[in-house]
A and B are shown apart, each in its own frame.
Chain A
Amino acid sequence: MAEPYYRANVLVCGGTGCTASGSAEVIAAMEAEIKRRGLQDEVRLVHTGCRGFCAMGPVMIVYPEGIFYCQVQAGDVPTIVEETLVKGRVVQRLAYQEPDTHKALPFYKEIPFYSKQIRIALRNCGMIDPEKIEEYIARGGYEALSKALTSMTREEVIEEVKRSGLRGRGGAGFLTGVKWEFTAKAPGDVKYVVCNADEGDPGAFMDRSILEGDPHSVIEGMIICGYAVGAKEGYIYCRAEYPLAIKRLKTAIAQAEEYGLLGDNIMGTDFSFHLHIKEGAGAFVCGEETALLASIEGRRGEPRPRPPFPAVCGLWNKPTNLNNVKSYANIPQIIVNGAEWFSNIGAKRSPGTAIFALTGKVNNTGLVEVPMGITLGEIIFDIGGGIPKGKKFKAVQTGGPLGGCIPAQHLNVKVDFDSLKEVGAVMGSGGMIVVDEDTCMVEFSKFFLTFAQAESCGKCVPCRVGGKRMLEILTRITEGNGTLEDLDTIREIAKGMETGALCALGQLTPGPVMAALRYFEDEFRAHILDKECPAGTCKALVRARCINACPSGVDVPAFVALTAQGRYQEALDIHRERNPFPLICGRVCPAFCEQKCRRGDVDEPVALRQVKRFMADQEKDHPWTPPKKEGPKDKKVAVIGAGPAGLTAALRLAQLGYPVTVFEKLPVAGGMMAVGIPEYRLPRDILNIEIENIKRAGVEIRLNQEMGRDFTMDDLLNGMGYSAVVLAIGTHKSRKLGIPNEDLPGVYHGVNFLKDVALGKKPDVKGKRVAVVGGGAVAIDAARTALRLGASKVHLIYRRTRGEMPAWEEEVHAAALEGIQFHFLTNPVRVIGTDHVTGVELQAQQLGEFDASGRRKPMPIEGSEFVLDIDLLIPAIGQAAAVECLGSCGDISFNRDGTITVGPDLATTREGVFAAGDAALGPATVVEAVAQGNKVAVAVDAYLKGQKVERPKYVTAYHNVPQVFNMDDYADAKRPQMPELPVEQRVCCFDEVELGFDEKTAREECKRCLRCDLEWVETMGVEAVTQSDKDAVAV
C-alpha cells in the first residue's frame, strides 16, 4: 500500500538527551492524539535521532513550516495538535526564547543555536527516522555510493577525498585521503576497513548521535572507502555502552543488505563489501587504533608501537584503513558535492566542519556542527548562549581528557586543528566543556588526569607510572600540602610522558594539567602558598564556599547560625574577628559570600548581607570595645588614611598592644565609606558608630592631617617616633576620559562629585541635565546622587551592554527604577561647549572580538555620532591613588597603574613602610580593604617583632556552631524580599533606601543556610573549638 500524502510532518527528537528529558512520552502522547483526532493520514509522526539542542529537550519540529518547539512535555501535545496541526498557529510559549530579550523565536532557522551551524555530518540527524533506509535515500543517501561505483575509479575516489582536504575527525587530523591511499597501495589481497566508534571522552556524544540518528551515512562512507582501498570487509568497533547505536546500526546494515547496497555485487557491480559490528567493552584506550584492532582480534586492548602502521599491517596483520565515525559520515557528501565544495567550507588547512558536544556551564548545551575557523567565543556565546546565571566565563576544555583548557584571553582563537594546538589545546574528537568562575582549575585538571591515568593500559612505563605520580602531586596540592617544587616536578613528568609514552593516550595525558598550569598557575600557587582554593571547590581548603568567597574570611555560617538562635552579640563577635564593620558591610557589601552560597544552587542564596545588617543593627546601641589580644608595646605605628583598610589595620595593631595614630587628610574619617558611598546607601550615623568602635580600641584619629603638607614620611619615622607606617591612602583620583574639551567647566569627575556632596558642598545640579560616563559603582552612585540633588535628567553612558557592567546588578536595577536613562553601547568622543559644557558627542559601539577579560570589545561604529545636550558631565571610568602626597617620601615605588608597589608581605620599597587597601590593590570594595587591613597588621606586627613573614596571613580560630533545628523544615523556604523606600520617596532625599528585615524574617532566613561548614568539620575530622552543644539554644 502506498504511503498517504501527508500534509505535515512532526519530528520528535529521540536522541539520548531528549529521551532523558521525556521525548518517549511525548511521542506516545502525539501518536495517541493524532489517532484520536483522526489525523493519521494527514500528519506523519517521525521519531528522529539527535537534533543537537539537548538543553532544550525534548525538541520537536513541525514541517512544512519549520516550527521549533522546546521542552515539550506530553501534556503540551493536545495544544500542539489543536493549535499548530489543526489551526496552523504557533504555540508561543513552547517556542525558543532569546535569553536576553525573552523574545520568542518560533522558527527553526531563526534560532541562533542553529543559524551559525553548517550541518554536513549531522545533516540528517534529527531530520529522518534513522530506522528507515527509505528516508536516508530520500535525502540523497547512497547517491555517493552509486556515483563512486559506477562513474569513478578507485583512484579517482581517493583523489577526490585527498583534494577535499578532509582531515581525520578522530582527533589527530591526519589527511583522510592520504591514509586511504596508503592502504590502497599496501601489498596484500585481503584488506579491511574499520570504523572507530569507541567514543570515550566524558561528555562527548557526537559519534553516538550520528550512529543513532543517521547510521547509513557512516555505512555508506565505509562502503565507499572499501571500494577505494580494495577491501571486502569492514568492522564497526562500537562501545557496548551504546546499545541504541548498535541496534540502529544492525537495522541499517540489514536494510542496506536487503537493498543490495551492502553484501555481494553491490548495485550489480563486481564490488562486494560486508560489514560487521564489534562491540567494545568500553576501555578508553581502545580508541587508539592499534589497541582497537587488538580488541577486535580478541586480545587485550593495548596499543603497540607504530610502525608498522595499520595501513600496512592492521587487523590480523592485513592492510587496514581506520577512520572515525565523523570522517566516514563526511565522505558521501564529499563524493556527491565534490572536493571543491567541501574545501571551500571552513578553514584553509582544516576544511569542512567540526562537531562539538557543548557541555558544562553554558546555556545551550548540545551538539553543534560549525564550520572550522569559527572562533571559540562565537561557539560559546552565540551558539552556546553564554554562561548561565550571569557567572563569568573562565575556560573551555577542548579535546576531552587528553585536551587542554583555553582561557578567556583566547576566545578569539579559531577553532581548527592547528590554531587550537597553538594555544595548548587540541581538537580531539570534539568534546567542549565550558567552565565558569566557580571551577577550580587545579581540581578540574585533576579530574581529567584521574580519568586518563585510570584508563592507561599500563603497558608503557611513562604513562603507567607518570600519570599516577602526577595525580599524587595534584592531589597533594588540592589538599594544601603542595610545594612550589611540585610544579616543576609536574612539568618534568609531563615532559617525560609527552616524549616517552607509547601512544597518544600517554603522550597527551598531561595535556589538561599543563594547559591549566600554563594559564592558571596563580591558582596552583594559591593552593600551595596560601593554602587557598580561590574557586572554592577543593574540599580540604574550603570550610564553606561563603567563607572562602569573603575576602576578609568572615565565618558566615557561624554568625548566621547564631543569628538564627537570636544570639546577636556572639554572632557579632565572630564577625568582628575578621571584619570590624558589620553595620557598614550589612549595607554596602557586594556580598561575595552570597554569590557562592550553595543554597543558590538549590533555589536562591541566603540573604546574607541583609541578615548581617539585621544582626548588626540589633546591637548598634551597645558600644563595642574591641578586646586586647596582647599586652601594651612601646613601638608606635602611624596609619595614613582613615578608610576601611587604614582603620582595620589600626584596630588590629591596637588590639595587639601597639599605640596607633591614624592621619586623615579629610575633615571626616571613613575614607570612601564617608565620601564615596552616598548616604542613601550608608547613613553617616551608622558609619560613625563603627568608627567610634575603632577609637574605643585606643586608636587616635587625627583629621585634616595631610602627608606632604602637614608632615612628611621622614617626620613620622624619625622626629615623630613611629616605628612603622601603613599607607592606606585609597584611590581618590578620577581617571580621565582622554577626549577633546575634557577640562571644560561642567566636567565634574565622579569621585570629586561624590566627595563634595558628602562634605556638604552641595554642587549645583538642580534642574540640570547630567550625563554620567561609566559602568561601575561610582558611576551609578554619581547618577543616583545627581538625581537626588534635583537634576532634571540623568543619563548614564556605558560603552558595553548592561550584562557587562561591573556595577552591582541590584544598584543598576534601582537606578533604572529611579529613572536614570541608560545609553548602552555608547561612548563619548568629544565634550561640546565653549566656556561650559553644553553637550557631549556620543558614538555608538558594537561588540567585536573578545578582550583578555573574556568580554567582547566595544568597537566604534563610524558615522553613528550624535550629540546629547547636557549641562554636566560626570566621568566615572576608574580611579587612581592620589600619590602626589607621597612625592616627599622617597624610595617608594609605584606600579604603572598608579598603585603602590608592594611585595606579598605588603611592604613597600621603603623599610618600615607598608601599604594596604585600594592604594595597593586598585579600586576595590570595603570588604577587600578590610582584608588588606587585617593582613598588613600581621605584616607590621611581624616586622616590629623582628620576624620575617613572607606571606602574612591573618589567622583566627574557627567556630563550630551546632545545628539546633531541623533543616528539612526549611527545604522549601523562600528568600524574602528586602523592604525598600518607595521610589517616589527616595529620589528626592538621601534617606536610606533599604529598610531592613524584621526579626522574624531575618531569623527564619538564617535557617535556609545549608551549613556547609559542618560537612567540612566532619570530613576533615576537626574538633570543635568554641561552642559546646550545651550552649545551643533551640528556637
Chain B
Amino acid sequence: MATVNIKINGQQIQARAGITVLEAAKEAGLDIPTLCHHPALANIGACRVCLVEVAKQRTLQPACTFPISEGMEVETESPKAVEARKFVLQMLFSERNHYCMYCEMSGDCELQALAYRYGLDHWTYPSPHAKMPVDGTRKYFIMDHNRCILCRRCIRACSDLAANHTLGVRFRGAKTMISADMDVPFGESTCVSCGTCLQVCPTGALIDRKSAYMGREVHVERTASTCTFCAVGCGTSVVTRAGHVLRVEGDWDAPNQGVLCVAGRFEPLYDTRERITSPMVRKGNGLVPVSWDEALAAIAAKAKGNGGKKTAAYVTGKALNDTLSEFVKVFQGKVRATVGTLEPTLADLELPVGGALADLDTADCVLVVGGDPLATHRVLGYRVKRALDKGARLLVVSDKPNGMAALAHRIFPMAQVAEAVKIAQGSTAPVVIYGGDLDKAGARKLAALTGKARFISLFQGTNGYRARELGLKNTLNANGVKVLYLLLGDGELPEKAVQEARRAAFLVVHAAYKSAATDAADVVLPAPLWYEQDGNFTTLDGRKAVVKSAVAAPEGVLAEAEVLARLAEAL
C-alpha cells in the first residue's frame, strides 16, 4: 500500500495515501478535536472544529475531509487554527441554549468538553437564542432542539446507518432545524425507534427517557455483550449502575456497526412482567415457593421411567449454547424424551444458511422470500435498505403483507418464486433472505441459487442456528405427553402454545417471568434474564456471539444450564 510522508505539528509521520489528516493524526496518536465527525459516519466537514492549518492552503482546512499528500505540513494547534476553533465554539454557544448546568449530558457532552479544552469560561457573544421546541412525542427518547448544534450526526446515522431517512434538515441558514420527514412530530414520523441517532448525538439534544439524569459516564459500568432478541446477534454495550440496567447501546465494532433496533435497545428495559425468583411447586390450588432440591425432586419423581413419548421437553430458541447442549444431554441423552424447540429452525427447507450482514454491503440484488426482516430481524432489514440506497435491487416474494414490499422493485406471490430466482440469477452478487413462510416447494426452486447467492435464514429463535445444528427439529406437541418440560427463559409462550401445554398431565415451566404458562404449571423453575447470563449463542451467520452478564441474577436464580445439570443429577 502506498504511503506518504507528512508532518503534523512538526512530527514526521508516515501514513497510508488517501486517508484524511484526521485519520493520519489519530494513527500517530495526535488528537485533533472534532464535533460533527463520528468514526462510524461519513465526514461532512460542517462544524469546522477540526480546522487545521495546512501549509500552502489559502484557508484553514477541515482535518476530517482533507486528504493527506506527500510533503504536507499541518499545524493542528497553531494560533490561527485555535482562534478559528474558539470562534466556532463561541458561535455554537451563542446559537441555542447551552447552559450546561441544567443539561442531562453535562459531563459527557462533546461540546462542553471542547469548551473546557479551549478555555471558554464566559459568554463572548450575548446569547439571544429564541426558545426552541422540545419534541417529546416519541416513546423512548426526546429531541430537545435547544441543545442541538446541527452537527447532523443524527441525520447521517438515520440515513447512512439505519437507512431510514426519517431525519433531515429544514429551512436554511440560522433557521435550520433538524426535522422528521416533512416536519411532523417525531412520534408520528416514519421513525422506527432504532435509537442510532440517540447514540451518536454529541450533546443533550437527543435524550434517552429511561436513563436521563441517572448517571454520567464516570458513574456507570459498561458490559460488552450481544443482543439476544433475535438471531442477528448485534453487539451491545449494556450500561448499568448499581445493579440496574440504564440503557443498551450498539457496539460500533460489531457487525451491526453500532446499529440496534427497538427490540434490542429499548423494549426490554420497559418490561413490566412479574419476575419469578424462586422454584415453586403446585400444592393444592397454588404454587408454593420451595427449595431447588424439592422442586427438582418433584420433576424427577414424575419424569423417571416416563421416557419416550410420555415425556417431552421443548426449549426456547433464545437459550444459549451451553443451555442447549445441557438440554439435549439431559432430555435426549438421559430421559430419551421427545425434544424440540419452541420456534421452528427452518431445517426442513434444506436451504443453505450462514449468510452475513456484510454480504449485503456488496449485494446488487436482494431476494426476500417468506419472511420480513424489518419485522423480525430489523437490523438485517436496515442493512438491506442500505444495500438498496447503494443501488441494489430488491425482490420480495410473499403472500402476506411485508414490511419490505414498499421498497421492493418487484413483488411476487410465493407461487412465482421462480421468476424472482430468474431475475436474481441475472445479477452479480445476489443475497437470499428466507423465512418461515417459505414452503418446501418454493425452497426447492430457491435452491437453484445455491452457489451463486448467499443465503441468510430468518431463524425465529435467537439461537436457531445452533438448535438446527443440534437437530432439534420437533415443534411443540403435547398429545399424549405425561410430563412436559418447557424452557422459556425470559421469553413468553404464545396463547395457543399454552393451551397445547395444558394438555400435558404434568407441566414444568422454566421461566424468568410469571405468565399464563407458569400459572398452568405444576412446577415452576426461575430463569435468569437476558442481562444476567454468561455464555454464547450462534448467530444466523454461524458466528459464536458472546453474552455477558451485566447484572447478577437475584439470589436463588440459577443459570439455565446449571439447573439442567442439577436436574440430570436428580433423575
Binding site for B on A (CB under 8 A): 283, 285, 300, 304-305, 307-308, 453-469, 472, 489, 492-493, 495-496, 498-502, 507
Of B51, B66, B87, B91, most A-chain CB atoms within 10 Å: B91
Q: Which chain B residue lies CB-closest to A457?
A: B172
- Asked if B317 is at the interface of the complex by the 8 Å CB criterion, the answer is no
Report the minimal beta-carbon distance from B216 to chain A, rounded to whole angstroms: 26
Chain B residue contacts of A459, Cβ below 8 A? 44, 46, 152, 176
Report the minimal beta-carbon distance from B524 to chain A, rounded to whole angstroms: 58
Report the minimal beta-carbon distance from A356 to chain B, rounded to whole angstroms: 26
Chain A residue contacts of B66, Cβ below 8 A? 305, 307
Of A300, A467, A496, most B-chain CB atoms within 10 Å: A496
Asked if residues B176 and A458 are in contact (CB atoms below 8 Å), the reply is: yes
Asked if residues A456 and B94 are in contact (CB atoms below 8 Å), the reply is: no
- From B59, B65, B94, B174, A453 is in contact (CB under 8 Å) with B174
Asked if residues A458 and B44 are in contact (CB atoms below 8 Å), the reply is: no
Asked if residues A458 and B171 are in contact (CB atoms below 8 Å), the reply is: yes
Q: A500-B84, A500-B88 are in contact. Are A489 and B125 (CB under 8 A)?
A: yes
Of B45, B51, B87, B95, most A-chain CB atoms within 10 Å: B87
Asked if residues A500 and B60 are in contact (CB atoms below 8 Å), the reply is: yes
Q: Which chain B residue lies CB-closest to A468?
A: B174
Asked if residues A500 and B48 are in contact (CB atoms below 8 Å), the reply is: yes
Q: A465-B95, A496-B91 are in contact. Are A460 and B48 (CB under 8 A)?
A: yes
Report the minimal beta-carbon distance from B350 to chain A, rounded to whole angstroms: 43
- Asked if B80 is at the interface of the complex by the 8 Å CB criterion, the answer is yes
Q: How far is the CA of A861 from the CA of B247 in the complex (A)?
A: 90
- From B44, B51, B88, B91, A304 is in contact (CB under 8 Å) with B44
- From A308, A467, A469, B173 is in contact (CB under 8 Å) with A467
- Asked if B62 is at the interface of the complex by the 8 Å CB criterion, the answer is yes
- Asked if B424 is at the interface of the complex by the 8 Å CB criterion, the answer is no
Q: Which chain A residue lies CB-closest to B152?
A: A459
Q: A305-B65, A460-B46 are in contact. Are A496 and B87 (CB under 8 A)?
A: yes
Asked if residues A462 and B175 are in contact (CB atoms below 8 Å), the reply is: no
- Asked if B128 is at the interface of the complex by the 8 Å CB criterion, the answer is yes
Chain B residue contacts of A307, Cβ below 8 A? 66-67
Report the minimal beta-carbon distance from A187 to chain B, rounded to whole angstroms: 14
Asked if residues B91 and A458 are in contact (CB atoms below 8 Å), the reply is: no
Report the minimal beta-carbon distance from A914 to chain B, rounded to whole angstroms: 39
Chain A residue contacts of B263, Cβ below 8 A? none
Q: A467-B174, A469-B125, A492-B87 are in contact. Are A305 and B45 (CB under 8 A)?
A: yes
Q: A305-B65, A307-B67, A459-B46 are in contact. Are A500 and B173 (CB under 8 A)?
A: no
A-B contacts, 10 of them at CB < 8 A, read: A458-B175, A461-B46, A461-B92, A461-B149, A462-B48, A466-B87, A469-B94, A499-B59, A500-B88, A502-B62
Q: How far is the CA of A461 from the CA of B173 in the complex (A)?
A: 9
Q: How far is the CA of A462 from the CA of B59 in the complex (A)?
A: 13
Asked if residues A454 and B173 are in contact (CB atoms below 8 Å), the reply is: yes
Convert B169-200 into 0s and 1s, putting 1 for each residue whose CB lies closer than 8 angstroms to a CB of A: 10111111000000000000000000000000
Asked if residues B48 and A464 are in contact (CB atoms below 8 Å), the reply is: no
Convert B51-91 into 0s and 1s, putting 1 for each residue whose CB lies closer than 8 angstroms to a CB of A: 10000000111100111000000000000100110011001
Convert B134-152 into 0s and 1s, putting 1 for each residue whose CB lies closer than 8 angstroms to a CB of A: 0000000000000001101
* Interface secondary structure of A, over-half rule: helix
Chain A residue contacts of B150, Cβ below 8 A? 458, 461, 464
Chain B residue contacts of A501, Cβ below 8 A? 48
Q: Which of B426-442 contact A (CB under 8 A)?
A: none
- Asked if B395 is at the interface of the complex by the 8 Å CB criterion, the answer is no
Asked if residues B176 and A496 are in contact (CB atoms below 8 Å), the reply is: no
Q: Which chain B residue lies CB-closest to A502?
A: B45
- Asked if B299 is at the interface of the complex by the 8 Å CB criterion, the answer is no
Asked if residues A461 and B47 are in contact (CB atoms below 8 Å), the reply is: yes
Chain A residue contacts of B171, Cβ below 8 A? 458
Q: A472-B128, A499-B59 are in contact. Are A464 and B47 (CB under 8 A)?
A: no
Asked if residues B174 and A464 are in contact (CB atoms below 8 Å), the reply is: yes
Q: Which chain A residue lies CB-closest to B176?
A: A458
Report the minimal beta-carbon distance from A1029 to chain B, rounded to whole angstroms: 39
Report the minimal beta-carbon distance from B174 to chain A, rounded to whole angstroms: 4
Report the minimal beta-carbon distance from A243 to chain B, rounded to whole angstroms: 24
Report the minimal beta-carbon distance from A808 to chain B, rounded to whole angstroms: 48
Q: How far is the CA of A456 from the CA of B175 in the complex (A)?
A: 10
Q: How far is the CA of A461 from the CA of B85 in the complex (A)?
A: 10
The 9 closest A-B pairs by CB, nearest first: A458-B176, A496-B87, A305-B45, A456-B173, A465-B91, A468-B174, A305-B65, A500-B84, A458-B172
Asked if residues B47 and A460 are in contact (CB atoms below 8 Å), the reply is: yes
Asked if residues B84 and A305 are in contact (CB atoms below 8 Å), the reply is: no
- From B65, B169, B172, A283 is in contact (CB under 8 Å) with B172
Chain A residue contacts of B48, Cβ below 8 A? 460-462, 500-502
Chain B residue contacts of A460, Cβ below 8 A? 45-48
Q: How far is the CA of A460 from the CA of B48 in the complex (A)?
A: 7
Q: A461-B88, A496-B87 are in contact. Are A507 and B59 (CB under 8 A)?
A: yes
Asked if residues B173 and A496 are in contact (CB atoms below 8 Å), the reply is: no
Q: A459-B44, A461-B47, A501-B48 are in contact. Are A453 and B173 (CB under 8 A)?
A: yes
Q: How far is the CA of A311 from the CA of B66 in the complex (A)?
A: 16
Q: How far is the CA of A457 from the CA of B175 in the complex (A)?
A: 9
Q: Which of B111-134 contact A (CB under 8 A)?
A: 125, 128
- From B88, B128, B173, A458 is in contact (CB under 8 Å) with B173
Q: A305-B45, A462-B87 are in contact. Are A500 and B95 (CB under 8 A)?
A: no
Q: How far is the CA of A462 from the CA of B88 in the complex (A)?
A: 6
Of A453, A469, A500, most B-chain CB atoms within 10 Å: A500
Chain A residue contacts of B92, Cβ below 8 A? 461, 465
Q: A466-B91, A500-B51, A500-B60 are in contact. Are A304 and B45 (CB under 8 A)?
A: yes
Chain A residue contacts of B44, Cβ below 8 A? 304-305, 459
Q: How far is the CA of A496 from the CA of B85 in the complex (A)?
A: 9
Q: Which chain A residue lies CB-closest to B35?
A: A461
Q: Which chain B residue lies CB-closest to A497?
A: B87
Q: Which chain A residue lies CB-closest to B81?
A: A499
Chain B residue contacts of A493, Cβ below 8 A? 87
Report the minimal beta-carbon distance from B169 to chain A, rounded to whole angstroms: 7
Q: Which chain B residue lies CB-closest to A303?
A: B45
Q: How far is the CA of A177 from the CA of B27 in the complex (A)?
A: 39
Chain B residue contacts of A454, Cβ below 8 A? 172-173
Chain B residue contacts of A464, Cβ below 8 A? 91, 95, 150, 173-174, 176
Q: How far is the CA of A500 from the CA of B175 in the complex (A)?
A: 20
Asked if residues A496 and B60 are in contact (CB atoms below 8 Å), the reply is: no
Chain B residue contacts of A492, Cβ below 8 A? 87
Other A-B pairs, 5, CB within 8 Å; known A465-B95, A499-B59: A455-B172, A455-B173, A465-B94, A468-B174, A500-B84
Chain A residue contacts of B45, Cβ below 8 A? 304-305, 460, 502
Chain A residue contacts of B128, Cβ below 8 A? 472
Q: How far is the CA of A456 from the CA of B173 in the complex (A)?
A: 4
Q: Which chain B residue lies CB-closest to A463?
A: B173
Asked if residues B169 and A300 are in contact (CB atoms below 8 Å), the reply is: yes
Q: How far is the CA of A538 from the CA of B440 in the complex (A)?
A: 82
Q: How far is the CA of A129 from the CA of B125 in the complex (A)?
A: 57
Q: Which chain B residue lies CB-closest to A465?
A: B91
Chain B residue contacts of A457, Cβ below 8 A? 172-173, 176
Report the minimal beta-carbon distance from A310 to chain B, rounded to whole angstroms: 15
Q: A461-B48, A468-B173 are in contact. Are A305 and B91 (CB under 8 A)?
A: no
Q: How far is the CA of A997 from the CA of B404 in the complex (A)?
A: 89
Chain B residue contacts of A453, Cβ below 8 A? 173-174
Q: Which of B451-495 contact A (CB under 8 A)?
A: none
Q: How far is the CA of A501 from the CA of B95 in the complex (A)?
A: 16
Q: A458-B169, A469-B94, A489-B125 are in contact. Are A502 and B174 (CB under 8 A)?
A: no
Asked if residues B91 and A462 are in contact (CB atoms below 8 Å), the reply is: yes
Convert B245-273 into 0s and 1s, putting 1 for each residue whose CB lies closer than 8 angstroms to a CB of A: 00000000000000000000000000000
Chain B residue contacts of A463, Cβ below 8 A? 173
